Amino acid sequence: MYDFANSGYTTVVITAVFSAYFVATIAGNAEWATFAWTAGLALSYLLIMLTGPVLGAYADLHAAKKKLLAVTTVGCVLFTAALALAGPGAVWLGLLLIVLSNFFYGSGENVIAAFLPELATGRNLGKVSGWGWSLGYMGGLLSLGCALAYITWAQSSGQDAAHYVPVTMLITAGLFALSSLPTFLWLRERAVPQPGRHTRLWRDTFSRLGHTLAHLRQYRDLTRFFVCIVFYQAGVQAVIALAAIYAQQAMHFQIQDTLKLILVVNITAAIGAFVFGYVQDRIGHIRTIALTLLGWIAMVLIAASAEGRDAFWLAANLAGLCMGASQSAGRALVGYLSPRARLAEFFGLWGFAVKLSSILGPLTYGVVSWVSGGDHRLAMLLTGSYFVIGLVILMGINVRRGRRAALRGHRILPAA
């Protein structure tokens, strides 16, 4: 249910509505507008990178995952609602609110992922992660559907984007808050506080994190997968952050066309996450992720060369299929290769890798589009090369060896 709740934020704010609104209306289609959007996202991801592993270490030490999740949820809901205040010309306010709302969203994403290995056995991690991610796309569909319904009504009433987009931010924030309630009512904190008095709160937390980082060499396959994530997720995050901008700037879609496209893509992504969860448990983690990366490479080539809408619709739905599968599969593999006593901490490192990719991918796209004078097709091709790099790195990972390291992790990484 939390995957269902928080997906509305990425679907409506980051992917479909506010991103294009920022470029076209708030920044007035300035040449630097796409770069400014990606730079704002990059700053928020940098903040998540710096704080994620520390918050994860704190959560493990004090069994505080659920408390931290509550704080990040409230933060994201409040700052998403505040985006309604960013009107035409309010570039700095829009950027500030995006940085803050995305920071709380991403921090909560790290924390909720750390519950996964507590809720599923090693043989079922792919399936359960796929259930969650698939349901998450349904949540994104709900938020986007409500936004589309309101936008359609508002446009028929003669309103412009400056009037109806702020209301969609309020709708998205409200749905996030309501949909997250089952998580806080029924999800239990199964972890227990680690031994010790821990009177020196942050000193103990940083000490624990430092000890983990010093022993990462014992987790060579998990560490290699973190590096792999940085590259292939750079491509994924560029697609998430810039899909609506690409559709409108390169393919000349109107906002309703873009929202309909993303509605359909969310269905495809839900199917991909659900089906590939079972595939992952059957054929293995590496083969599943490799298959999705090949799909991503094909998507980039089709999208960059698409002249008509039919080819772009094909590319977009292929992206949806691969998006749900690759993100769900990656989360499951991290859970499979992480020591149980430090789940939040290692998922904090997973978040570090994902957020680094979230800087690398969109910023690469933004810089290329700026330098090339708005050539979004070239930006798509260059950003897509990250999928190839990720595939090469993935081939060197030995899952069995990595799992053995995770199972003996309590000896490598003592509790205190």
117 pLDDT above the threshold of 60: yes
- Rounded Cα gap, residues 196 and 225, in angstroms: 32
388 pLDDT above the threshold of 90: yes
233 pLDDT above the threshold of 70: yes
25-29: average pLDDT? 91
Per-residue confidence at 351, pLDDT binned at 50, 70, 90?
confident
Q: What is the pLDDT of residue 105?
A: 95
Give the DSSP H or E segment for 235.
helix 220-249
Read off the amino acid at residue 325: A
11-21: average pLDDT? 89
- Rounded Cα gap, residues 345 and 328, in angstroms: 19
**Helical segments of 284-416, H only:** 285-305, 309-337, 343-371, 376-394, 399-407, 409-412
Report yes or no: 134 and 270 within 8 Å, Cβ to Cβ.
Answer: yes
231 pLDDT above the threshold of 90: yes
- Rounded Cα gap, residues 371 and 40, in angstroms: 18
Find the radius of gyration of the CA atoms of the chain.
20
Report yes or no: 143 and 380 within 8 Å, Cβ to Cβ.
Answer: no
pLDDT top residue among 352 and 86: 86
Report yes or no: 302 and 318 within 8 Å, Cβ to Cβ.
Answer: yes
Q: Mean pLDDT highest for which of 74-83, 261-270, 278-287?
A: 74-83
Q: What is the pLDDT of residue 176?
A: 97
Alpha carbons within 13 angstroms on the beta-carbon side of residue 19 total 32
Per-residue confidence at 213, pLDDT binned at 50, 70, 90?
low
In order of their start, the domains of the chain are 1-187 (1.20.1250.20), 214-411 (1.20.1250.20)
Mean pLDDT, the chain, rounded, equals: 85
Per-residue confidence at 204, pLDDT binned at 50, 70, 90?
low
Least confident of 7-21, 103-117, 226-240, 401-415: 401-415
- Rounded Cα gap, residues 238 and 110, in angstroms: 19
For residue 137, give Cα distances in angstroms to 159, 217, 269, 324. Answer: 29, 36, 7, 8
Q: Mean pLDDT highest for which of 6-10, 38-42, 255-259, 365-369?
A: 6-10
Q: Measure the CA angle with vertex 214, ends 394 and 346; round to 5°.
A: 55
Percent of the chain, pLDDT > 90?
A: 34
10-18: average pLDDT? 89
